Amino acid sequence: MEEEMHTDAKIRAETGTGSSPRGPGCSLRHFACEQNLLSRPDGSASFLQGDTSVLAGVYGPSEVKVSKEIFNKATLEVILRPKIGLPGVAEKSRERLIRNTCEAVVLGTLHPRTSITVVLQVVSDAGSGAQLLACCLNAACMALVDAGVPMRALFCGVTCALDSDGTLVLDPTSKQEKEARAVLTFALDNVERKLLMSSTKGLFSDAEGSAPSTNQSLPRSSSSAWL
């Protein structure tokens, strides 16, 4: 089994920082992933997406404190540490989103009264919260796979920005995010491309917000993440 999965996916010719203008629709920036790089955790992965890079470690299924144990499934914990400073409310909210996504796919009923802990460390941050969330989701999924935790599907995180004339840009740079009127982050599974989690910020209509189910480019680009 390969311990290192180094994936370079460039859908269209891209420069890393996205200084060249990209067409609307399906194009992701350069992303890469490496697994099994830490010796202590049961599974680890590092995910680099554009300018954002997150290191994830998974411990489990391991012992759990009696106060936290659930009698019929595994207790999933997510800890997100920012690059500088102490974790605050934003980290707690992202931890909850990532935990809910992981709980939806991990087969916790196979390991009752155990704990599965996902620790995420932000290594480099482009300054955008939405990008970070997508990168954390991808790193968490790769680390869970490396640890051999049984899952019913894989999931990936992808960010998109809606600018003022309604065009959808996938994987926006920080500059595109600031100028956009809405930034949306989605987590999709690989079985039926269904939506697992969405985190949105900004102003958009219902029709635009149902992009994950109707927009073909979104699932296709995010599916390339599973190469």
Partner 1 sequence: MAEAASVAAECLAGCRARGARSVLGQVVVPGEELLLPEQEDAEGPGGAGERPLSLNAGARSRVRVICGPGLRRCGDRLLVTKCGRLRHKEPGGGGGGVYWVDSQQKRYVPVKGDHVIGIVTAKSGDIFKVDVGGSEPASLSYLSFEGATKRNRPNVQVGDLIYGQFVVANKDMEPEMVCIDSCGRANGMGVIGQDGLLFKVTLGLIRKLLAPDCEIIQEVGKLYPLEIVFGMNGRIWVKAKTIQQTLILANILEACEHMTSDQRKQIFSRLAES
The whole-angstrom separation of Cα 125 and Cα 142 is 19
E runs forming strands in 3-62: 31-35, 43-49, 52-62
> Could you say whether residue 174 binds partner 1 (CB under 8 A)?
no
Among 12, 24, 87, 107, binds partner 1 (CB under 8 A): 107
| Residue among 38 and 182 whose Cβ is closer to partner 1 | 38
Residue 153 Cβ, how far from partner 1 at the closest point, in Å? 4
- # binding residues, partner 1 (CB under 8 A): 39
Taking each continuous run of H as one helix and of E as one strand, the counts in the chain are 6, 9
Q: Give the rounded distance of the alpha carbon of 153 from its chain centre.
A: 14
Among 10, 113, 200, 215, binds partner 1 (CB under 8 A): 113
Residue 38 Cβ, how far from partner 1 at the closest point, in Å? 11
Pair 131, 178: CB distance under 8 Å? no
Q: What are phi and psi of 145, to 5 degrees?
A: -65, -40
Residue 107 Cβ, how far from partner 1 at the closest point, in Å? 6
> Could you say whether residue 226 binds partner 1 (CB under 8 A)?
yes
Other Cβ atoms less than 10 A from the Cβ of 26: the count is 20
| Residue among 64 and 161 whose Cβ is closer to partner 1 | 64
The whole-angstrom separation of Cα 102 and Cα 118 is 9
Site track for partner 1 across 184-223, x = CB under 8 A = -----xxxx---------------------------x--x
Q: Which residues have a Cβ under 8 Å from the Cβ of 90 and sit 6 or more positions away? A: 129
Site track for partner 1 across 41-60, x = CB under 8 A = -xx---------------xx
> Could you say whether residue 8 binds partner 1 (CB under 8 A)?
no
Residue 166 Cβ, how far from partner 1 at the closest point, in Å? 27
Q: Please give, one letter per residue, the 3-state secondary structure of 164-199.
A: CCCCEEECCCHHHHHHCCEEEEEEEECCCCCEEEEE
Q: Which of residues 60-99 bind partner 1 (CB under 8 A)?
A: 60-64
Chain residues binding partner 1 by CB under 8 A are 1-3, 5, 36, 42-43, 59-64, 105, 107, 110-115, 145-148, 150-154, 189-192, 220, 223-224, 226-227
